[in-house]
Amino acid sequence: MSNNNPDIINKINNKYLFFKKDGWAEKSELFKQLELDGFCNYLCYKNMIVDVIKETNAKSILETGFFLGSSSFMFLESSDASVVSIDPMGFYDPPKTGLRNADRIGKAFPNRFRLIVKRSQEAMDDVKDTKFDLMFIDGDHETDGIIHDFEMAIKLNIPYIFIDDFNGKVEDVYFNYYANKTEVIKGYGIQDSGNIVDNLLVKNLLAV
């Protein structure tokens, strides 16, 4: 899990929101009905995603990293936004499980969800004509891949960037290259897990 710097709270100017485990969201009826297969971080993510939607009022979201679809599902369920998710599929799990979840999510939210089965490095042409309000970066977790996804947000002029797994390489890339191009809105974490910022929402200062 996370191992980020103890002074992270200072680095993000004390802007954070930690959720208590006993305050975690219950799985929604729709979530249960869809029978999404496999690992799904519903409980700890849901409150955070609701807060991100409140902060950004996003109507159009670009995500890198679909995996089994829990974040896509929660964005769709927590808003009236549309979601485009990019993932080559099959990295951690037989792709058929993720593809089946994508199919169920697409049917549950007609005309609001699209999965692009590619690496984000190869998907620019698929998304360059769409206006997005928010990018969720949770795909390639290697340094070059993380940089690529930040650059994609900048090229696409996306005003808000929400970053997952904010530790290790992700944290380094952010502070080395993007902290001065963004303004921290809020860090998120789980209070009972050591007060660690695991996700960060920032405003892209280069977006016009």
Q: Which residues bind ligand SAM (CB under 6 A)?
A: 41, 64-68, 70-71, 86-89, 91-92, 119-121, 138-140, 145
Q: How far is the CB of 6 from ligand SAM (least distance, A)?
A: 24
Cβ contact 62:135 at 8 Å: yes
Q: How far is the CB of 207 from ligand SAM (least distance, A)?
A: 21
Please identify, using beta-carbon distances, which residue of 9 and 44 lies nearer to ligand SAM. 44
112 vs 105: CA distance, rounded Å: 9
Please identify, using beta-carbon distances, which residue of 145 and 187 lies nearer to ligand SAM. 145
Q: How far is the CB of 43 from ligand SAM (least distance, A)?
A: 12
Q: How far is the CB of 169 from ligand SAM (least distance, A)?
A: 13
Cβ contact 198:148 at 8 Å: no
Please identify, using beta-carbon distances, which residue of 31 and 66 lies nearer to ligand SAM. 66
Phi first, then psi: what are they for 170, rounded to 5°? -65, -45
Please identify, using beta-carbon distances, which residue of 11 and 141 lies nearer to ligand SAM. 141
Nearest to 205 by CA among 169, 139, 161: 161
> 85: which DSSP letter?
E
Radius of gyration for the alpha carbons in the chain, expressed in angstroms and rounded: 16
